[in-house]
Chains A and B, each alone.
Chain A
């Protein structure tokens, strides 16, 4: 009960058959495997937990420096360092299973059959509730162009993962494309249950005194408030064209920025870099959304989703 004696608004949403108690979750790669943030944000209060990208074999990652702060954002070139799917299942998943929160495992590969193999192992592991497929990775067999950069390869990965799992499949789109709607439609037809967007924008920054790139990897992925307008625009474009739910990601650092995504049509949101700014950011966002709904007399977050008031064409 709130101050006016009404019931608090409902925040629950459903994504690909999975019911989330609220639409807020951490973004992959910014939350480790869940343990690091637990002292700050009780995992049981989150809509879901999304883990660091997992591949078939462990990966060492890129040499340092891996990160650099840029205006209102940061570049990272972590290089998808991870423990590999077997160690994940044996060492990381048991911790997550102790909680009452859906676990979404982010996966990637360098070849289509690698995605499929990881998906299969995770589906049999128990305690995984959905897969989020990162298609921003270079396709090693096809000259290193990202799977997510072309509708055909994006659809191929999606179909391969779908074919190897009964779990809901969320496909995470890269913004480094000319037409994100085209990719979104291709992935939807290939069977994705939901889409999440955006992954990081490819960027670069230079130390002018020494005339060297700030990152050892030269280029890196840009995240944080700097990318938010791009992410909101892409979510709005995609949500207007696909039937499956869209999860909005990019630059959320308070509840107002999360609300932008929901109003643009996202059914849920992920907080990435914002957690580095404040480790309890996910909870602040949940509380802020609830307060907003109350202030606007809305009983259900569904009333907010896609409620953008605008008359001109998409």
Chain B
């Protein structure tokens, strides 16, 4: 571990140096992180990839995480130099569509982490289209829980902020300003990417039910193996009339087409 800094109360930015070669991660992919010297917590924790770079042969992995319980609390207490067990990159990330003009990002809370990496990726793409705009709608509980805003602002053409309590940006939930702008998006030229709490994604799914604008969401579920072997991370998808089946967030996901998932 190269650094582990608290960027907002209860939110940490961690940089890891990777001694073994790994494949270039796709935005939306995740890693399973564990403290190798402990059996409590027992299982590795899934964390999205916030940034990735190669410098002088060494790969650097960035994570942005919120202290949510025992595992992340212990992680936040670790200091530079500690060795962590990192498995990844895992899962299927966001599908990139280089020829689209408008990229819309919808981030709830810590959901901004994989979307920042995605914005960076779009920024780095060769210019297939002229004047591509990246617009990000960011929502958080309060101004203190708004993490990673500066970095996102540097990558986007426009950032719209909402907080539940109105301490920063507009007061309300992030889907409100998005809903207002939705009619102005050109269906064939726009893609929406979203990551955030279940309630936000459900609201988004509702809002986009009749919309022709495609939307990819990154969802969370508890994980044990992260590799597709234990079937612990299942989420329901709609498969035909009333029929439900389950897919693995760690393997078929964590990114899905919003209409593929069953939001009930």
Contacts and interface: CB of A to CB of B under 8 A. Distances in A.
Interface stretch (A67-75, A116-124, A180-188): A67-75
Contact of B225 (A30, A63, A224, A253): A30
A66 B229 contact: no
A36 B226 CA distance: 10
Given A72-B40, A273-B42, A65 B222 contact: yes
A191 to B, nearest CB: 31
17 contacts: A31-B229, A32-B228, A61-B234, A62-B234, A64-B234, A66-B231, A66-B234, A67-B223, A76-B224, A76-B230, A76-B232, A81-B231, A81-B246, A253-B39, A276-B226, A278-B85, A279-B87
Interface in B4-50: 34, 36, 39-44
Contacts, number: 93
Interface in A201-254: 224-225, 253
B39 A67 contact: no
A78 B231 contact: yes
B184 to A, nearest CB: 36
Interface string B217-256: 0000111111111111111100000001110000000000
A64 B40 CA distance: 23
Given A32-B229, A81-B246, A276 B234 contact: no
Interface in B192-216: none
Tell me what chain B mostly uses at the interface: helix, strand, loop, or mixed: loop
A225 B42 CA distance: 9
Interface residues of B, number: 29
A278 B227 CA distance: 11
A36 B34 contact: no
A277 interface: yes
Contacts of B235: 64
A278 B44 CA distance: 9
Interface of B: 34, 36, 39-44, 85, 87, 221-236, 244-246
Contacts of B87: 279
Contacts of A31: 229
Contacts of A278: 36, 85
Given A36-B225, A279-B87, A74 B234 contact: no
Contacts of B225: 30, 36, 275-276, 279
Contacts of A288: none
B43 A277 contact: yes
Contacts of A73: 42
A36 B229 contact: yes
Contact of A61 (B39, B222, B246): B246
A61 B231 contact: yes
Given A73-B42, A78-B230, A279-B87, 15 more contacts: A29-B230, A31-B229, A32-B228, A32-B230, A37-B229, A60-B246, A69-B41, A69-B42, A69-B43, A72-B40, A72-B42, A74-B42, A81-B231, A276-B230, A278-B85
Contacts of B233: 64, 66-67
A29 B225 CA distance: 11
A78 B34 CA distance: 23
Contacts of A66: 222, 231-234
Interface in A60-119: 60-69, 71-74, 76, 78, 81
A116 B223 CA distance: 34
Interface in A170-184: none
Nearest to A60: B245
Contacts of B36: 278
A74 B43 contact: yes
A32 B226 CA distance: 12
Contacts of A60: 244-246
Contacts of A67: 222-224, 230, 232-233
Nearest to A34: B229
A17 to B, nearest CB: 28
